[in-house]
Chain A
């Protein structure tokens, strides 16, 4: 006969995992938002007088620059970084879940969360 629910230890670990993931998410968003604010301020300063027109679509893929270049580079690079950090936040959350499930020795959910992680990474790396 099966025990319908999880035992106490499993449920407790899940709760801790969720809280840690929540914290990770908030820190990630905070970091990304800070970088975006800095980049935004730089952007406004750099392009202060210019006119904007977004009704024509011209593709400009976002690229990553090396961190040491950032100090000399323009606002766009900083903003690119901020946005990448933002997207990395939920991805980090899933990676964290893979590790947490592995520690709980839950092979089924290691496989499930690893699958999700693989789709996320594929989307990021092979986006083009």
Chain B
């Protein structure tokens, strides 16, 4: 199709992905790749490249907002980024060697898993943990309780958290997604870090993880600038608007719709990958 039409449609689709991703907190990246591959018949590798680039943009743009509120913990983030960046480099190398059909199937499974995970993320009472390594590695911290005071917390099961983060990195490098859900899982459920600290720190980390594999993608030609630019600008615009609209949105309803959509896309990706139509 003509370039202008293509770029406009891709921009519009990416805008929607970014908007929904920001409003539901589920990330637009997961919708973007199925949109490009199934909707626009873009080769999976180009889609992954474009998605990765937009993940860096939205993560970096959004992270600033959370940092101001004093929730994210830079030391936890930096420590775990050792795991995610190594994982991301490995994932990127695996991606260059894996057949796109396999990537599509893996991607579909991740989508299904994301839809499953998104179903109720409520805060649970923080258990008191007493892991001495939390202090030795200086990862203990505190966050605002909303009434001018601070709540202290510590970090637990550090090795398991580190390993899970490595996995999150591999997924990010392999599929060009942010893996925010896995990162939050590692911090919240495995390491018992308070939910708000986990989500904000995860946002901060996503861009760095993506940047680790980006170099490899660029060198292998996975990023086509003609495709990447409408995707990037669309997702960025959508997520900025989405973040603003968040206050007025009915998030639980949106999340349910979104979860159903990505579950359906997950099934489609698996089927198409299996049948070799990707």
A21 to B46, CA, bound (A): 30
Please, which residue of chain B has its CB at the minimum distance from the CB of A101? B78
Q: Is the CB of B138 within 8 A of A106?
A: yes
Beta-carbon contact of A44 and B7 below 8 Å: yes
Give chain A residues whose Cβ lies under 8 Å from the Cβ of B216. Answer: 123, 127
Separation of A47 and B45 alpha carbons in the complex (Å): 23
Interface of B is mostly: helix
Q: Contact at B53–A128, with CB atoms within 8 Å? A: no
Instruction: Tell me the minimal C-beta distance from B68 to chain A in angstroms.
Output: 6
Known contacts A90-B208, A116-B78; is A33 also within 8 Å of B236 by CB? yes
Decide if A54 touches B53 in the complex (CB within 8 Å): no
**B225 contacts A52, C-beta separation under 8 Å:** no
Contact of B138 among A47, A52, A109, A125 (CB under 8 A): A109
Given known pairs A61-B218, A116-B81, A123-B216, the reply for A50 and B142 (CB within 8 Å) is: no
Least distance between A53 CB and chain B CB atoms (Å): 8
Contacts of B53 in A (CB 8 A): 83, 86-87
**CB atoms of A97 and B211 under 8 A apart:** no
Q: A residues 31-62 with Cβ under 8 Å of B?
A: 32-33, 36-37, 39-40, 43-44, 47-52, 54-62
Segment 206-221 of B: residues with Cβ below 8 Å from A: 207-208, 210-221
Q: Per a CB cutoff under 8 Å, which of B2, B42, B64, B220 touches A61?
A: B220
Docked-complex contact B67 and A19, CB < 8 angstroms: yes
The 8 Å CB contact of B140, one of A5, A76, A106, is A5
Q: Are B78 and A113 in contact (CB-based, < 8 A)? A: yes
Let me know if B215 and A125 touch, CB within 8 A. Answer: yes
Closest to A60 in B: B221
Which residues on the B side are within 8 Å of A57 (C-beta)?
Answer: 43, 45-46
Chain A positions within 8 Å of B257 at CB level: none
Once the chains are docked, how many angstroms separate the CA of A124 from the CA of B219? 8
Of B16-24, B55-63, B183-191, which binds chain A? B55-63
Q: Provided the pairs A91-B211, A109-B75, A127-B215 are in contact, do residues A54 and B41 lie with their beta carbons within 8 angstroms?
A: yes
A32 to B46, CA, bound (A): 20
B89 within 8 A of A: yes
Overall SS of chain A's interface: helix
Check: B98 CB closer than 8 A to any chain A CB: no
Knowing A52-B6, A54-B224, the reply to whether A29 touches B89 (Cβ < 8 A) is no
Contact B225 A43 (CB under 8 A): yes
Shortest C-beta distance, A76 to chain B (Å), equals 6
CA distance A59 to B7 in the complex (A): 20
A94-128 near B? 1/0 per residue, CB < 8 Å: 10010000000010110011011001101111111
**B117 on interface, CB distance cutoff 8 Å:** no
- Asked if A67 is at the interface of the complex by the 8 Å CB criterion, the answer is no
**Contact across chains for A37 and B233 when beta carbons are under 8 A apart:** yes
Which residues does chain A contribute within 8 Å of B56, judged by CB atoms? 86-87, 89-90
**How far apart are A98's CB and chain B's nearest CB, in angstroms?**
9
Interface centre among A2, A18, A21, A97 (most CB of B within 10 A): A18
Does the CB pair A18–B135 fall under 8 Å?
Answer: no
Top-3 shortest CB links A-B: A59-B221, A127-B219, A22-B64
Which residues of B are in contact with A by a Cβ distance under 8 Å?
1-4, 6-7, 40-43, 45-46, 53, 56-57, 59-61, 63-68, 70, 72, 74-75, 78-79, 81-82, 85-86, 88-89, 92, 135, 137-138, 140-142, 152, 207-208, 210-230, 232-233, 236
Residues of A bordering B, CB below 8 Å = 2, 4-6, 11, 14-15, 17-19, 21-23, 25-26, 28-29, 32-33, 36-37, 39-40, 43-44, 47-52, 54-62, 76, 79-80, 82-84, 86-87, 89-91, 93-94, 97, 106, 108-109, 112-113, 115-116, 119-120, 122-128
